Amino acid sequence: MHPEEHQLNDYVDGVLDAREQTDVAWHLERCSECALFVAQLQCIVRDARALPPLQPPAAVWERIRAEQSAESDEQFATKTGSGAFFDSAPQKKHPTPFSGAYWALATAAAVVLAFLAGRVIEQQHQREAVAQIAAQTQAPEGSDVNSVSNMRERVLLVAVGDHLERSQMVLVELANAQTQGQLDISAERQAADELLASNRLYRQTALQLGQANVAGVLDELERVLVEVARGPSEVSMAQLAEIQQRIEAQGILFKMKIVNATITGRKAPVS
Amino acid sequence: MPDLLPSKAVRVSRALVENDDLVARCQAGDVDAFEELYRLHSPRIYSLACRMTGSPQEGEDLLQDIFLHVHRKLGSFRGDAALGTWLYRLAMNQCLDFVRSRQARMKGLTDTFEEDGSNEPAAPREAPITRLDLERAVQRLPDGYRAAFVLHDVEGLDHKQIAGMLGISEGTSRSQVFKARLKLRALLG
């Protein structure tokens, strides 16, 4: 009679009492089926204990630095009073043509430009741009909260629309690629890697702004981008088919088109 | 040949002094010191975060949150525990919070796993199991099984500690680890 699987598991952990341990050991010497089971569990336990530490991607440290800088600036601004524009605490202000709404609009326009220039600027700059959107959560005194919120939304939509178009180009390339042998996808891989960092930022910003649908699609896109960015530069026919199946199975291109079409309809010019 | 390496006791006390110095520099706002601290400790914390969440992306997000939290909290570090232990505890708490809140959002994952009945290896495996195979298989475990497995088999905690951390009984922890191993055995073929 074979021992139960949980007994064999306890044998692997060495937690059976002495007699049971001896009985199981005796059985294992005579039963190749149970011996194989135990060997497989031992292998899993041994390999799990030997798993080496993973190295985080360099981009994580860049993002931490950017966040820290933003926090330090905020603290500095609070201490010196130079952050008065974005402080929600009531401030005594002189009447001026540069009212809260004007500044919110101007900042929004600047952020749009920053996002559009995102094709050439580095990832940490994109982070700062997104941080600016977040900074606008503190509505300037006297401004209409709804209009500021709408502006932030429009800024995000412009940026995400542009991002989705670029991502779509990469995925369409991969979805339509064909090969009989090895295929060099290093360009797509690099593009996916670059898109990945901004994708994460847009997703987080979309969540902050309550754009759950946009965040959902960006989340699915991120999974595909990670697979491509972390995969090999050259893929075999089977590996390519696997990537294509992933793109196909999630219907990600279709979802991106829908979101993009919705965005195009919603991103009325900031005026 | 004389042993030119410092004794273990000397190495440990030197490391403690270096840690104290690093903490003091971080607390004084030295950016390079904080980067040094990140370089020293991020691999272990990132590994924990990736394996506990089962997702490299979430692991990255969590690592970022953890170190921002560390940055804010370093001022309150008094050196009662070793820096590494303090960081690990803080990281572990954040990972557990993450897993708990996700479990609350995605109730029923474990039930799905119980029902799929796929604990038998599909076919005998010809190639040896690689580290990557195991990492990927661990990612595919349901949250509850993965958390118990990572804490027990990877991090080396005992069932009593795991039970306390995850808010489950020791028996449940034992059972989760066992089921995780069965599932991994099936996944790894």
Same-domain status, A34 and A125: no
pLDDT (0 to 100) of residue A124: 53
User: In B, which residues are within 8 Å of A16 by CB distance?
Assistant: none
Q: A30 and A105 in one domain?
A: no
A45 with B153: Cβ contact below 8 A = yes
Per-residue pLDDT band for B1 (boundaries 50, 70, 90) equals very low
Contacts with A88 (C-beta within 8 Å, 6 or more apart), sequence order: A138, A139, A141
Is B46's CB within 8 Å of A5's CB? no
Of B105, B137, B157, the residue at which a domain comes to its end is: B105
CB atoms within 10 A of CB A43: 17
DSSP summary character for residue A180: S
Give B 98-157 residues with CB within 8 A of chain A. 121, 129, 131, 134-135, 138, 149, 153-154, 156
Looking at the structure, tell me whether residues A167 and A144 fall in a common domain.
yes
Q: Does A271 fall in a domain?
A: no
Q: In chain A, count of helices (H) and strands (E)?
A: 11, 2
More confident residue, A216 or B12: A216
Clarify whether residues B96 and B115 are in a common domain.
no
**Under an 8 A CB cutoff, do B47 and A67 touch?**
no
Q: Write down the pLDDT at residue A17.
A: 94
Residues B29 and B101 in one domain: yes
Are B92 and B116 in the same domain? no
Same domain, A251 and A188: yes
- The CATH number for B156's domain is 1.10.10.10
Q: Is the dihedral of CA A58, A59, A62, A68 positive or negative?
A: negative
A162, part of any domain: yes
Residues B88 and B133 in one domain: no
- Domains in chain A: how many in total? 2
Give A-chain residues touching B178 at CB under 8 angstroms: 5-6, 9
Does the ipTM exceed 0.95? no
Range name among A104-108, A188-192, B1-5, B65-69 with the lowest pLDDT average: B1-5
pLDDT per position as a tens digit, A165-181: 888 888 888 888 887 78
**Co-location of A9 and A115 in the same domain:** no
Lowest mean pLDDT among A68-77, A103-112, B36-45, B46-55: A103-112
Nearest C-alpha in A relative to B186:
A40
Encode chain A (271 residues) as per-residue pLDDT tens digits.
899 999 999 999 999 999 999 999 999 999 999 999 999 999 999 999 999 999 999 999 999 988 877 776 666 566 554 433 333 333 333 334 444 454 555 555 555 555 544 444 445 555 555 555 555 444 444 555 555 566 666 777 777 888 888 888 888 888 888 877 888 888 888 888 888 878 877 787 777 777 777 888 888 888 888 888 877 888 888 888 888 887 887 788 888 878 777 776 665 444 3
B165 with B137, same domain? yes
Judge whether B60 is closer than 8 Å to chain A, CB to CB: yes
In a domain? residue A187 = yes
- A84 in the same domain as A44: no
* Residues B98, B164 within the same domain: no
Domain count of the fold of chain B: 2
Residue A250 within a domain: yes
Residue type, B144: G
Please check whether residues B126 and B33 belong to one and the same domain.
no
- pLDDT for A76 equals 56
Domain check: are B150 and B183 in the same one?
Answer: yes
Q: How does residue B175 score in pLDDT terms, banded at 50, 70 and 90?
A: very high
| Same-domain status, B81 and B111 | no
Tell me the average pLDDT across B133-149. 93
A22 & A133 share domain? no
- CA dihedral for B80, B81, B82, B83, sign (positive or negative): negative
Which DSSP string do the residues of chain B spell out, in sequence order?
A: ----SPPHHHHHHHHHHHHHHHHHHHHTT-HHHHHHHHHHHHHHHHHHHHHHHT-HHHHHHHHHHHHHHHHHHGGG--SSS-HHHHHHHHHHHHHHHHHHHHHHHTTTHHHHHHHH---S-SS---SPPPHHHHHHHHHTS-HHHHHHHIIIIIT---HHHHHHHHTS-HHHHHHHHHHHHHHHHHHH-
Q: Which amino acid is at B178?
A: F
Q: Are the beta carbons of B64 and A67 separated by less than 8 Å? A: yes
Task: Choose the closest CB to B131 out of A52, A55, A200.
Answer: A52
Nearest to B110 by CA among B146, B71, B149, B76: B146
Q: Quick check: is A76 in a domain?
A: yes
**Count of CB contacts below 8 A, A vs B?**
88
Residues B98 and B111 in one domain: no
Task: Tell me the residue range of the domain where B25 lies.
Answer: 1-105
Please report, for the domain that includes residue B35, its CATH number. Answer: 1.10.1740.10
pLDDT value of position B184:
95
Q: Write out the residue range of the structural domain in which residue A21 sits.
A: 5-49
- Mutate one of A32, A46, A51 to test the B interface: name it (highest B CB count within 10 A): A51
* Domain termination residue (choose one: B105, B135, B164): B105
When the pLDDT of each residue in chain B is averaged and rounded to a whole number, the result is 82
A139 and A258 assigned to the same domain: yes
Tens-digit pLDDT profile for residues B148-161 = 999 999 999 999 99
Q: Look at the pTM and tell me if it is higher than 0.90.
A: no
Are B134 and B93 members of one domain? no
Mean pLDDT for the stretch of residues B153-173: 93
Same domain as A116, residue A43: no
On whether both B66 and B90 belong to a single domain, the answer is: yes
Is A163 contained in some domain? yes
In chain B, the residue whose alpha carbon lies closest to the alpha carbon of A41 is: B181
Are A240 and A153 found together in one domain?
A: yes
Q: First-to-last CA distance in chain A? A: 81
A125 and A249 in a single domain? The answer is yes
Same domain, A174 and A253: yes
Question: Which of B81, B105, B129 is where one domain is finished?
Answer: B105
Is pLDDT of B62 > 90?
yes
Q: Over 60: is that where the pLDDT of B11 sits?
A: no
Most confident of A125-129, B43-47, B95-99: B43-47
